Chain A
Amino acid sequence: MSAGLELQRIYDEHADGLFAFLLNFTRDEEDTRDLLQEIFVRLAHQPELLWQARNERAFLIGLAHHAAIDLMRRRGTREKYHEIFGAEPVSVFAATGNPDELAFRAAVSEALGDLPSEQRAVVHLKLWEELTFDQIAEALGIPPNTAASRYRYGLDKLRERLRPLYEEIK
């Protein structure tokens, strides 16, 4: 398979997952596009990066996470970045015609945005990528116990924050 076709395959299989993760992590659509492009340019430069990956998706998410961290460091302090994110709320969920669902998705997206980025990354990978804690730990470069505790803390915060709305629409 040529390099172009291989890149197309990787994009078709993983672009949506990477997009959602990066959008949830950065909370900015332009940054997400830049990071996604950066990842694929890097894969074009070094196609051998994926040859040794046991789990392609987890490996690509690891690349995306590192790229996002680098972007945050380039931009300055993390607090400053959070302020920018806070100024521009973004929805990570698809649009829907159901008003209750739409409200719930907006609330979840906002609650996710209020989580620390480390917890948000773990919650996203556990809930929507359905990775194990070992895979999350490998992708983010943290111990599995740390991944599990971050997930528990993050989920508790979401539950506390969304309890009234969830009870209402349940």
Chain B
Amino acid sequence: MNPDDFEKRLQRQPLRQTPSAWREEILARAGAAADSNRRTRAVREFTFAVTTFRALRSTLGHQLSTLLQPSPQAWAALAGVWVVILAINFSLRDKPKTVAQESASPSPQVIAVLQQQKRLLTELIGQSSALEAGSQKPFLPRPRSERRVVVHFAAFGGASVLASRLVSSLAPPNCTTTERRNELLMV
């Protein structure tokens, strides 16, 4: 017997098929199971959400009571202080709005006074500018200082001659040139 032929012969034998009546029955039960599964999941999720919410509420209440239990008056006072702070904050925040609203619509009298002040200011500015225009002098170049010339020459070698002239010019009339030079050198 050839094993391959035997295997092929066995493979050629057709197997029984599922009875056709089973399809509806099995799929109906599976569909019902799927529906109940969906409902069960929805109920489970809702129950979980409710349980979680209750647990959170209980925990929060317990923590708050533990926190506030030792000195409820102090916590109440703190809350009152916060209320006052918030009230002040809101009242300060509202003021600039009212100022802006008032300034947005000035009365005719105020406009007239402002216009009069503007005219006076214009006249004053016109007079002062005329005065300033009259007091301005033409630019005349002034002669340069002698000392600056002396210093300039001293820097280029004629130091001794010019220095003696400088000393004599700075010295008082009754002082000799030598004494004045020594005094300056000491300084």
List the interface of chain A (C-beta within 8 A of B): 3-4, 7-8, 11, 15-16, 19-20, 23, 33, 36-37, 40-41, 43-45, 47, 91-94, 104-105, 108, 127-128, 130, 155, 158-159, 162-163, 166-167, 170
Contact = CB atoms under 8 A, between A and B. Distances in A.
Given A41-B29, A94-B14, A130-B11, 13 more contacts: A3-B31, A11-B27, A15-B23, A37-B26, A93-B13, A94-B16, A94-B17, A127-B7, A155-B6, A158-B10, A159-B6, A166-B1, A166-B9
B180 to A, nearest CB: 114
* Of listed A7, A41, A128, residue having the most chain B CB within 10 A: A41
Nearest to B40: A45
A94 B17 CA distance: 7
B1 A159 contact: yes
Contact of A45 (B1, B14, B33): B33
Contacts of A37: 25-26, 29-30
Contact of A20 (B7, B16, B26, B27): B16
B30 A7 contact: yes
A127 B11 contact: yes
Nearest to B37: A45
Contacts of B9: 166
13 contacts: A4-B34, A11-B26, A16-B15, A19-B16, A19-B17, A19-B18, A20-B16, A20-B17, A37-B30, A40-B30, A44-B37, A93-B14, A130-B11
Q: State which size class the interface on B falls in.
A: 20 to 34
Contacts of A8: 27
B26 A40 contact: yes
